[in-house]
Chains A and B, each alone.
Chain A
Amino acid sequence: MKALLLGAAAAALLHITPTVTLVERSEVVSRLLPGADRFTAREVHLSSTDERRMHDAAGWTPPDDVITFYLGKRANQVEGVLIFMRVDSPHGPLEVAVGFDTAGAIRGVEVTKATVETKPWVVEALRAGLTDHYRETPPVAAPSVKGKVGTMSEYMAELVDRGVAHAGAAYRLFYR
């Protein structure tokens, strides 16, 4: 019986909880592509060679080998680029939106989705200023909230950092 109960508890702990939206994508679009009145989705279907380049650069390859860049335009001029990046973890996926300005610097980072389980950790990391330090050029590599939040929030910060790094590599290699 003890084994059964332990098994059930372990299974419950491992179960990935449903996704929750932290920030609506439409809100993110207006924040990270300000002023844009026209939008274009640029889908880059990677060849096997470019998939390897991506992997070598960031230790990551996009799902289905497709990277989607959303270009915000005004008067046919590109005002900025936005990427929604999914980062998987044993606790469920996070979605990180990374916006770039015309010079290629990070304009802002938003965590758009988490899970019921990870939301409190993500919120704690965000309140500690997790996404603020990305608005520097070049972005600080290590999560800036280390030591200021709990262990799981630090872990969430690492995941967000990973998403930003993947987006940065994708932008450098396949957008510019």
Chain B
Amino acid sequence: MLYDLPRSDARVRWLVTLLLATLGVAYVFGAWMVGIYAGFTPRSVAATYVEPAGMNMPMPADRTMVVEHDVTPADMAREEQHQVDRALLIQDTHVHVPMYGVIAAVLSVVVLGIAIPRWMGFALITLLFAAPWLDFMGMWLTKLVSPHFAVVTLAGGWAMGLGYTIVAALAFWQMWRPERGVRP
């Protein structure tokens, strides 16, 4: 490890603890939000990110088409499947990817301070950065190539949660485990 987080000053360990706790809360609410807007199944994720049917509908280039059908007030009130169109996905990617990069970097700094084998450090850091890449790659591939790529987004989301859980568990354990008559 590059520095010794478990034996660092109690203030540093407290800072890392609060940081990880805060990120944990953010992840829990992030998962909740995903549950509301996109769901956790490949089908619901694909429905969120796939290119809307209208865009693929063969339309006569020079003629506007009108379709009418009866609806009830309940139909009008029904929440449509939340869809992320291309413009919104561009904005989401622009906003989220830097933030995910910062979070992955912060967690990687924690990884550098905990006592784990070198290969595991590489693997964890790779996982932390790969997760958001998979997440957004899945969204774009779902939109541009095939709805089947929704599983890549799901894999990215779960990888993000897994990476955080491993780092937080190792850090909490190593920072605060009771040691024979020495701490804090």
Binding site for B on A (CB under 8 A): 4, 7-8, 11-12, 14-16, 18, 24-26, 29-30, 38-50, 63-66, 70, 82, 88, 90, 174
Find chain A residues with CB under 8 A from B102 CB: 4, 7-8, 11
Indicate if B184 sits at the interface (CB-CB under 8 A): no
Indicate if B2 sits at the interface (CB-CB under 8 A): no
Instruction: Give the total of B residues in contact with A, Cβ under 8 Å.
Output: 39
A46 CB to nearest B CB, Å = 5
* Residues A26 and B106 in contact, CB atoms below 8 Å apart: no
* Residues B65 and A45 in contact, CB atoms below 8 Å apart: yes
* Residues B54 and A39 in contact, CB atoms below 8 Å apart: no
Knowing A7-B102, A8-B102, A47-B61, say if A42 contacts B66 (CB, 8 Å): yes
Find chain B residues with CB under 8 A from A11 CB: 95, 98-99, 102
* Residues B77 and A29 in contact, CB atoms below 8 Å apart: yes
**12 contacts across the A-B interface (CB closer than 8 A):** A8-B103, A14-B95, A26-B74, A29-B73, A29-B77, A41-B69, A44-B64, A47-B64, A48-B61, A50-B64, A70-B76, A82-B76
B110 CB to nearest A CB, Å = 12
Roughly how many angstroms separate A16 CA and B57 CA in the complex, as a whole number?
30
Roughly how many angstroms separate A120 CA and B2 CA in the complex, as a whole number?
47
Find chain A residues with CB under 8 A from B64 CB: 44-47, 49-50, 174
A21 CB to nearest B CB, Å = 9
Find chain A residues with CB under 8 A from B105 CB: 4
Roughly how many angstroms separate A140 CA and B106 CA in the complex, as a whole number?
51
Is chain B's binding surface mostly helix, strand, loop or mixed? helix
A108 CB to nearest B CB, Å = 16
* Residues B55 and A49 in contact, CB atoms below 8 Å apart: no
Roughly how many angstroms separate A11 CA and B97 CA in the complex, as a whole number?
9
A1 CB to nearest B CB, Å = 9
* B 28-70 binary contact with A (CB < 8 Å = 1; else 0): 0000010011000000000000001011010111111111111
A45 CB to nearest B CB, Å = 4
Indicate if B81 sits at the interface (CB-CB under 8 A): no
Indicate if B88 sits at the interface (CB-CB under 8 A): yes
Q: Which 5 A-B pairs have the closest CB atoms?
A: A11-B99, A64-B54, A25-B77, A26-B77, A45-B65
* Residues A45 and B68 in contact, CB atoms below 8 Å apart: no
* Residues A15 and B76 in contact, CB atoms below 8 Å apart: no
Roughly how many angstroms separate A46 CA and B66 CA in the complex, as a whole number?
9
Indicate if B85 sits at the interface (CB-CB under 8 A): yes
Knowing A4-B105, A38-B70, A47-B60, say if A63 contacts B99 (CB, 8 Å): no
Find chain A residues with CB under 8 A from B182 CB: none
* Residues B76 and A64 in contact, CB atoms below 8 Å apart: no
* Residues B106 and A63 in contact, CB atoms below 8 Å apart: no
Smallest Cβ-Cβ distance to B37: which chain A residue: A18
B136 CB to nearest A CB, Å = 15
* Residues A49 and B62 in contact, CB atoms below 8 Å apart: yes
**Among B52, B66, B69, B87, which residue has its beta carbon within 8 angstroms of that of A44?**
B66
**Among B33, B57, B68, which residue has its beta carbon within 8 angstroms of that of A42?**
B68
Find chain B residues with CB under 8 A from A70 CB: 71, 76
